[in-house]
Amino acid sequence: MAIGITVKEDMTESVSTVKPKDTTERVLKKIVDLDIGAVIVVKDQKPIGIITSTDLLKKVFYRGKNPEEVKVEDIMTHPIRTIDANTDIKEATEIMRDLGIKRLPVTENEKLVGIISETDLIAIDPAVHEIIAEKAETKRFTPPEQESFTGICEDCGSYSENLRAKEGRLVCPECR
């Protein structure tokens, strides 16, 4: 049963994007500067992938790679699931629940026009969150306590070459 609200009515129109040949340094800058959790990878205005802050942590920093040298196309999650802007919000909720994802790029005629997130859906009705959480499992990356990592501090957002795990988060020396 449809809710009667389209994805277009609830989506965020401003979407941060990058191109496949961009470096992950560009992604990192956007995520930190805009305080967002992900960027969409586009080619000819069509979404072809996504990179989340967790992807950067696991695929770049945890492996000791230099974000200035790693290309977006090398770590992006693809292919990416999208949803048409005129689709009912209930279908978006079901897709996110079934796939265990938090964000869906929104398209019209295959062109990126926005993004809908779990947060956008919760703003409609807190019960929507229960639908998403029904099947999705939270998978938290938990690094070893004594190992040191290079990346972005999860408390202050500063770059550090000496991040350590503290209460399940990677933090710099100043935040420990």
Residue 109 and residue 37 share a domain: yes
Under the banding of pLDDT at 50, 70 and 90, the label for residue 163 is: confident
Residue 12 and residue 69 share a domain: yes
Residue 120 lies in a domain: yes
The pair of structure tokens assigned to 41 is: 């990878």
Residue 151 and residue 128 share a domain: no
Residue 152 and residue 76 share a domain: no
Number of domains in the chain: 2
Residue 137 lies in a domain: yes
- Evaluated on CA atoms 49, 21, 42, 123, the torsion sign reads positive
Closest listed residue to residue 149, CA positions, set 161, 141, 157, 158: 161
For residues 93 and 97, what is the distance between their CA atoms, to the nearest angstrom?
6
Q: Which domain holds residue 131?
A: 7-141
Residue 69 and residue 98 share a domain: yes
pLDDT tens track for 113-135: 999 998 887 777 655 555 555 54
pLDDT at 160: 83
Residue 149 and residue 130 share a domain: no
Residue 2 lies in a domain: no
pLDDT tens track for 52-105: 999 999 999 889 999 999 999 999 998 899 999 999 988 998 899 888 889 999
Whichever domain contains 20, its CATH number is: 3.10.580.10
Residue 165 and residue 135 share a domain: no
The answer to whether the CB of 38 falls within 8 A of the CB of 80 is no
Residue 100 and residue 151 share a domain: no
The answer to whether the CB of 64 falls within 8 A of the CB of 57 is no
Residue 153 and residue 93 share a domain: no
Residue 146 and residue 131 share a domain: no
Residue 1 lies in a domain: no
State what percent of residues in the chain have pLDDT above 70: 86
pTM for the full predicted model = 0.67
Residue 90 and residue 24 share a domain: yes
